[in-house]
Structure 1
Amino acid sequence: MSIALRFFTALAVVLLLSFSAGAVGSAGTLAISFGTSTVCGISASTLPRTIFCMNMSESGSTSLYMPYPNASFNSLSAGTAFLCGLESSRRVFFCWSGNPVNGKRIYRGPSVLSDLVVGETQVCAVDRSGSEIRWWRKAGLFPSSVLGSFNSLTSGNNFTCAITANGTVYCWGPLGSAMQSSFSNHSMTNILAGSLHMCGLDSSGFVICQGSNTSGQSYAPPGLPYEFHRFALGVSHTCAIRQPNGTAVCWGGSKGAHLYTPLDDTAFEFLVAGGNLTCGLTTNNYSVLCWGSDRRNLSIQALPFLRILPGICVVGDSNECNCGTYPDSESLCAGTGVICQRCDYINSLAPTFPPLPSESKRISKRWKVEAIVGSLCFCFGACGIAYGMWIDFYKKNEQNHHQIMPAVAPAGESNADATIASCSESDGHEDGLHQPRPSPENSQVISFGRTRRIDMPRTLQLQHQRSVLSTFNY
C-alpha cells in the first residue's frame, strides 16, 4: 500500500473517531481547549504568574477562574479535552479538564522540563538536557522517550513532531509516519500542529502546510519570505501573523481557502487556535481578542483577562536568548526573568515589504489606469471613424466626378473596427486570456451613413484581476 493511501486511510479513521476534536499545538502563554470550551492565559507583571481561565460555552455565558491560584507557571498548552501548565520551577506540571475542581498533578520529578506540549490525549516535553523528548498519557500509541536534539516540538491528534538543527521533520504516533513523509522534501525552521494538519516556515521563509485539507486549511498562501509567521491551527482553518503590520490573517474554515483579515487595524504578538476558535494577544496592551472561523459571520470578543505574557519568562539574563530579549521583558516577568525574542521575528525584519493598500485603493488605482487606457482607445477610435467618413465622402465625390458607379466594399473589418477590437481585447485581459468580442445578440447596431456598421456592446464590464492576497479559489 502506498504512503499516500495509508495516510488517507488513517485520516479517514481518525476523522470518524474524533470528528469534533479541537486543535492542539505548542507551549506558550495562551491556549484553547475547544473540547472543554476553555481559554487560559498566564498573567503578566505579577507574582505568582497565575493562570486565568474562561469557559466559553455556545450560549455565550462566561466565567473567569484560576485553576491553581497559589501556583506560578512557566507555560501552558491545551489538547482537545484538557489543558496542562508547567510550573515555574519546571519540575512539576498540572493538568485539568476545563473544570476548576478537576485538576491533577501529572508530573513531579527531579528533571527540569521545557516545551510542554499537549496533543489530543498525549502530553510530551523536552528533558532539561535538551537531548530527550518524554511522553505521558501516551495510551500505548507513543514511545516513552526519544533521544535526540530537537526544537519546535508540537502535537496534533495522534501525532507529535519536532525538527532537528538541519531542518528535518521527525514525527511519532499513529499518524507520525504519514506526517513526517509529507515534510520529507522540506527543510523547516519551525512547525506547528493543528488537529490533522501542520504548517510552518521552510528555510527560505515560505509557508509550507501539509495534512488534511478538507476546508482549505492546508492551502499555503503565496507571499514574500517571512511575510507570514506565528501560525495558529484549528480543526479546519489556519491563521498567521502577517508582516510588516502584524495583523492576523486566516484561511480555510466553512468558506474554504479564502484569505481574510478578521481585524484590519489590530497588531498581534501571537495567535492560538482550537476547534473553530482563534484568539490573539494584541500588541497594544496584551489583551486577548477571539473570533470564529466563519469569515462571513465574524464576531470579535474581548476576554476580561488581565494582561497576558507575550512570551515565556526564562530565569537568567539576555545571554540565555539566542535572538535577544523582548522589550520591557524584565518588567513583564516581574523581575524574575526575561522573555526571549522569537527568532522568526528577527528573520521577518530582513525583507522590505511593499505597502499593503486596501482592496478599495487597489481597485481605485486600477480604475484610473483603465480610464486613461479607455480614453486613449476612444480617441483613436473616434479619429478612425472620422477618417473613414472623410475617405468615404472623398471617394463618393470622386466617383460622381468621373461618373463611375460605386463598388461594393470588400468584406472584412475596417481600420476603425480593428482599433476598437484591439482596445476591447486590451481592457478584457485577465490571467493571460483575451475577452471575446460581443456576440450579435448582445449588441446594438450603430450606422454611420450607408456603408458603415460597428457592433458595440450594450454593457461594458470592467474585469479586475483578483488579488492573491485577498481571495483564493480552491
Structure 2
Amino acid sequence: MLGLFTTLAVIPFLFFSTDAVGSVGTLAISLGTSTVCGISAYTFPRIIYCTNMSESVPTSPYLIYPNVSFDYVSAGTTFLCGLKSSRRAIFCWNGNPVNTKQVYKGPWVLSDISVGETHVSAIDHSSNEIRWWSKADLFPSSVHGNYSSLTSGNNFTCAITSKGKVTCWGPLSRAIQYSFSKYSMTTIVAGDSHMCGLDTSGFVICKGSNSLGQSYAPPGLPYDYTRFALGSSHTCAIKHPNGTAVCWGGSNGAHLYTPLNDTSFELLVAAGNITCGLETGNFSVLCWGSDWRTVSVRILPLPKILPGICVAEGSDECKCGFYPNSGNLCAGVGVICRRCDSLWIQQLLHPELFPSPSESKRWKVEIIVGSVCIFVGACWITFGLSLILCRK
C-alpha cells in the first residue's frame, strides 16, 4: 500500500517537471519535401543528416550546415528547421541543402522548436514566452507564460499551461482548445488537424478530426501508450512495457495494429500517411505507411540518430535520471535525460512486470518488519487481556 501511495504522489511531479512526452526533437519528417532528417549520435558537432524518400530507394544522406551543431530538428509540410546547440539560432531549409535560411539569431535561449504548415515556434526560457517566426500574420509574435509540450499542426500551435490546461493559437486554435477544455493534460502532440496526448491519469485523449478513426483512443491501463506521432489521418504511439509501435486510423479506419510486431522503438514521428521510428539498440530509422493491410517497411540510409536531446551534464532538466550510455551518445558533450514515460515509470506502475533483486529485497524487508509488528501487536493484546482476566 505504501508503494502505491508513493507511486501516485510521484507520477504527477515527474510529468510536470520534465520535457513533454511529445517533444521528440531529434527526428523529423516533411511530407511536402519527402524529406526525413535526424541529428547524428556519437558525433560533435551534432550534425543533421537528411534523406529524400520520394524515390523507391531513399537517396544517400546529405548534411545540413556540416559545421553547425544542433540540438533540435522539427518539420512542417514544406520545410524543416533546426535549433543550434547554443539555443540562440534557428536555421530552416526546404529539403534542399542549398536552400537554407537563418530564421533567428539573437539573445533568447530557446527550446522545444515546433514547425507547422506556415510557422515556426519555440519556447523562450529567457523571458518565459512562446515566440513565433514566419507566421504569415496568423499567430501572435509572442505570448507570456509558463508552458510545456509545445506542438504545431496545420494553422494551429498548442501548449500546456503549468496547471495542465491546453491553450492554442492560430486560425484553427479555438476548436482544438475547446475540445481539450475538460481535461488536465501532461502531454500533447499535434497532427494535421487532430491532437493526442496523456491526461494526468495517464490515459490517451485524442480530439479533432476523426474522419478515418485517427482520434480513436485505444483502451488500456494508465501510461500504456506514450510518445505519440500523428499524421494527416492516422496516429501511432509506443506501447509499454515492450516499446512496440501501435497505430490506428489511416486509409482503412480505426483498426488498431502493430506494424512491426516485436520491434522496440525509442521515439516516433509522422507526417501525411508516413510514420518513422528510431529503433532501440541500433538507433536506425524505419518507416512505414498507414495502411494496416499492406504494411511496407523501409530502412533509411541515415547514420545512428540520437534517442533524445543532449543537455549539459549536471543540468537540472534531468528529473528522471539519465539515458543509458548517454555521455557517449552525446560524444562527451552533454547527456540525455531519461524520459519519465520510459520503462522506469512502468516499474512504478507495474512492479510485477519488472522483478529486480533490490526490489525483492525491499519487499522481503517490508514483509519481515510487518510480520514482527503484527507479532508484537498480538503479544500486547494477549498481555492486556491476561491482565484483565487476572484482575477479575
TM-score normalised by length of structure 1: 0.68
Q: Deviations over 1:439-471 (max 9, x none)?
A: xxxxxxxxxxxxxxxxxxxxxxxxxxxxxxxxx
Q: Which residue of 2 aligns with 1:349?
A: 347
1:134 to 131, 135, 148: 131
Q: Which residue of 1 aligns with 2:42?
A: 45
CA distance in 1 between counterparts of 2:24 and 2:282 reads: 22
Answer yes or no: is the 8 Å Cα contact 2:60–2:301 preserved in 1.
Answer: no
Aligned AA (1:349) = Q
Which structure 2 residues correspond to residues 448-459 of structure 1 after superposition, within 5 A? Answer: none
Answer yes or no: is the 8 Å Cα contact 2:58–2:300 preserved in 1.
Answer: no
CA distance in 2 between counterparts of 1:287 and 1:41 reads: 10
Answer yes or no: is the 8 Å Cα contact 1:83–1:97 preserved in 2.
Answer: yes
Q: Deviations over 1:387-411 (max 9, x none)?
A: xxxxxxxxxxxxxxxxxxxxxxxxx
Aligned AA (2:216) = Y
Q: Which residue of 2 aligns with 1:400?
A: none
1:215 to 193, 212, 217: 212
Q: Which residue of 2 aligns with 1:434?
A: none
Higher relative contact order (CA 8 A, sep 6+): 2
- C-alpha displacement of 1:64: 1.7
- Asked if residue 175 in structure 1 is aligned to residue 169 in structure 2, the reply is no
Which structure 2 residues correspond to residues 421-440 of structure 1 after superposition, within 5 A? Answer: none
- C-alpha displacement of 1:61: 4.6
1:296 to 293, 297, 302: 293
- Asked if residue 284 in structure 1 is aligned to residue 281 in structure 2, the reply is yes
Q: Which residue of 2 aligns with 1:116?
A: 113
- C-alpha displacement of 1:350: 2.6
CA distance in 2 between counterparts of 1:178 and 1:122 reads: 19
> Using a 3 Å threshold, how does the CA distance of structure 1 residues 81 and 146 change in structure 2: closer, same or farther?
same
State the secondary structure of the residue aligned to 2:293: helix
State the secondary structure of the residue aligned to 1:49: coil
Q: Which residue of 1 aligns with 2:272?
A: 275
CA distance in 2 between counterparts of 1:43 and 1:187 reads: 35
Aligned AA (2:346) = S
Q: Percent identity?
A: 69
Answer yes or no: is the 8 Å Cα contact 1:94–1:106 preserved in 2.
Answer: yes
- Asked if residue 323 in structure 1 is aligned to residue 323 in structure 2, the reply is no
- C-alpha displacement of 1:231: 0.3
CA distance in 2 between counterparts of 1:343 and 1:189 reads: 11
CA distance in 1 between counterparts of 2:346 and 2:160 reads: 20
Which structure 2 residues correspond to residues 136-175 of structure 1 after superposition, within 5 A? Answer: 136-175=133-172
> Using a 3 Å threshold, how does the CA distance of structure 1 residues 58 and 297 change in structure 2: closer, same or farther?
farther
Larger Rg: 1
- C-alpha displacement of 1:318: 5.2
Q: Which residue of 1 aligns with 2:82?
A: 85
CA distance in 2 between counterparts of 1:352 and 1:138 reads: 44
Aligned AA (2:350) = T
Q: Deviations over 1:7-53 (max 9, x none)?
A: xxxxxxxxxxxxxxxxxx85510000011000000000111111000
Answer yes or no: is the 8 Å Cα contact 1:27–1:117 preserved in 2.
Answer: no
Q: Which residue of 2 aligns with 1:230?
A: 227
Answer yes or no: is the 8 Å Cα contact 1:326–1:341 preserved in 2.
Answer: yes
Q: Which residue of 2 aligns with 1:72?
A: 69
Aligned AA (2:297) = I
- C-alpha displacement of 1:354: 8.8
CA distance in 1 between counterparts of 2:170 and 2:337 reads: 31
Structure 2 spans left out of the alignment, 5+ residues: 1-21, 354-392
- C-alpha displacement of 1:129: 3.0
CA distance in 1 between counterparts of 2:298 and 2:351 reads: 30
Q: Deviations over 1:65-90 (max 9, x none)?
A: 11211111011100000000001111
Q: How many residues align?
A: 331
Q: Deviations over 1:152-207 (max 9, x none)?
A: 00001011000012210000001111110000000001000000000000000000
> Using a 3 Å threshold, how does the CA distance of structure 1 residues 334 and 195 change in structure 2: closer, same or farther?
same
2:262 to 247, 261, 265: 265
Which structure 2 residues correspond to residues 305-320 of structure 1 after superposition, within 5 A? Answer: 305-317=302-314, 319-320=316-317
TM-score normalised by length of structure 2: 0.82
Aligned AA (1:326) = Y
- C-alpha displacement of 1:62: 2.2
> Using a 3 Å threshold, how does the CA distance of structure 1 residues 196 and 348 change in structure 2: closer, same or farther?
farther
Answer yes or no: is the 8 Å Cα contact 2:24–2:308 preserved in 1.
Answer: no
Q: Which residue of 2 aligns with 1:368?
A: none
State the secondary structure of the residue aligned to 1:181: helix
CA distance in 2 between counterparts of 1:349 and 1:217 reads: 29
Answer yes or no: is the 8 Å Cα contact 1:233–1:272 preserved in 2.
Answer: yes
Which structure 2 residues correspond to residues 235-246 of structure 1 after superposition, within 5 A? Answer: 235-246=232-243
State the secondary structure of the residue aligned to 2:37: strand
Q: Which residue of 2 aligns with 1:340?
A: 337
State the secondary structure of the residue aligned to 2:132: strand
- C-alpha displacement of 1:94: 0.4
